[in-house]
Chains A and B, each alone.
Chain A
Amino acid sequence: MSDPSRRSSIGGLAAGSAASAAGCAADEEAHDHHNAPSNPYLERRRSPEETAALEERVRKLENLMTQKGLVSKEGLEKIIDIYENDLGPMNGAQVVARAWVDPDYKTRLLEDATEAIRELGFGGMQGEHMVVVENTPSVHNVVVCTLCSCYPWPVLGLPPNWYKSAAYRSRVVIDPRGVIGEFGLELDDSVEVRVWDSSAEIRYLVLPERPEGADGLNEEQLAELVTRDAMIGVSKIPLRSA
């Protein structure tokens, strides 16, 4: 049942649209999470010899710091593990997939998201409450932070540049349908669009609709379908078209 083309079609949906959506044509991610040429900013640029010299320089620095008791191997490994594996959209994707397969979990998630998300081991919010808002055939939710760039980082990782742009922050409130349309998602006029403004106290996460035709997928496979943009509410997990 797993359909490899589905993954790329999700990427394709976001393609070319994120850049124009918030007027930030140069967002490196807009060029980077689909099939367009990748941005040189994100590419390796040193020769193998130069890289080896840098590896050596950092290794010596780390050794000396370890000798002085400033850092420990274990501590560093833990940080790397947290930033590479624990922070990021895959956490949010696991929350969404669990909610799709487990109605009781979904109920808890919508009632007290902070606690339900912690159940899966994703904590680290400090004083902020998580609120999960559910997309349905008649209601579409989208998240913004009009004041700055508040973002549910334990479940979504680092915010994309367009999320932080002044253009997105101001325009999505005034014309959410238009902005979402620029991301490539045309919402029917009958769909109510709700805009959620994050704050220091409350962080929002969108629970996207479960795609139709994904019945044969297990929780892990479902999580792979979930994109960051869908959890912000500027795209959907595509429904199977035929």
Chain B
Amino acid sequence: MSDSIEQLTDQAISNMPGIEGLPRRNGELVFHDDWKRRVFALAVSLCEQGQYQWDEFRDHLIAAIAAAGETPENPKPGAPGYFEHWLESFEKILEEKGLLSVDDSLTQSDD
């Protein structure tokens, strides 16, 4: 069963048609920094496990990007950028679903 959830997730991600579409070159994803890669995988992983529907996450992402007023057609180099919106949206949905308190994460000590 987990296979079919993964496949549905893949399609939902590849079909994000609007301002929330993943930055890419020639169809392939563009991650400049490792944290972008990591936070991308975190959000996909929890969705694949059924912790939330992709649309729920996507709605946060759309709202965050829309608030910043940036689109691929109208880039604003000073704006936070796509994956910071992704990170913010991911933290929101973690809180919303009661999966994690982001404050806990920021204050945790390393061990």
A interface residues, Cβ below 8 angstroms from B: 26-29, 32-33, 39-46, 51, 54-55, 57-65, 68, 70-71, 75-77, 79-80, 83-84, 87-90, 124-126, 148-149, 151, 153, 156-161, 164, 227-228
Contacts and interface: CB of A to CB of B under 8 A. Distances in A.
B102 interface: yes
B53 interface: no
A148 B11 CA distance: 13
B35 A28 contact: no
A19 to B, nearest CB: 11
A40 B30 CA distance: 13
Given A39-B72, A58-B35, A75-B45, A228 B27 contact: yes
A154 to B, nearest CB: 8
B77 A64 contact: no
B106 interface: yes
A68 B108 CA distance: 13
Given A46-B81, A60-B105, A64-B108, A41 B70 contact: yes
A62 B35 CA distance: 10
Contact of A33 (B25, B75, B80): B25
B24 A44 contact: no
B44 A54 contact: no
B1 to A, nearest CB: 13
9 contacts: A60-B106, A63-B110, A65-B99, A70-B49, A79-B40, A80-B37, A158-B27, A158-B28, A161-B72
A181 B4 CA distance: 40
B62 interface: no
B26 A29 contact: yes
